[in-house]
Amino acid sequence: MAKHIGRGELESILASGDFSRLLGVSETSWLEFKRDPYHLADDRNKQELAKDVTALANADGGIILLGVATTREAAHLGDEVKEIHPFTESLVNPEQYHQILSTWVYPGLFQVEIKWPSLPI
């Protein structure tokens, strides 16, 4: 059975730092998980970021949570969290993400937040 959480619960988990509470949670139309930060040195990865963000925007918004490894479950739609892979904040530059989105997405998107389970520097 798929385990779904609401946005409020996700915000609570991120604020508490108890990322183990994400284990078993499934992706939804508003929640996407990525194991690693986007590697933005080439256009293919920039396009992937823009595609993922616009897909969520077209579904009335959502969250892409980096640092979360998933596996596909045959019993339901959406990947399911199997591992948390926190990384240091130095691996993500939110300003770079916003710059890429402003270049690759038209019309522009508002209220885009970049979040991930992070380790202390």
Q: What are phi and psi of 58, to 5 degrees?
A: -70, -15
Query: How many CB atoms lie under 10 A from the CB of residue 19?
Result: 20
pLDDT given at position 84: 92
**What do you get for the CA distance between the two ends of the chain, in Å?**
37
| Helical spans, DSSP H, in 1-121 | 7-16, 43-58, 94-104
- Positive or negative, the Cα torsion across 22, 26, 28, 34? positive
Domain ranges of the chain: 7-119
pLDDT given at position 118: 62
Show the low-confidence residues of the chain (pLDDT under 70). 1, 76, 110-115, 117-121
pLDDT given at position 116: 72
pLDDT given at position 120: 53
Put simply, whether the predicted model's pTM sits higher than 0.85 gets the answer no
pLDDT given at position 47: 95
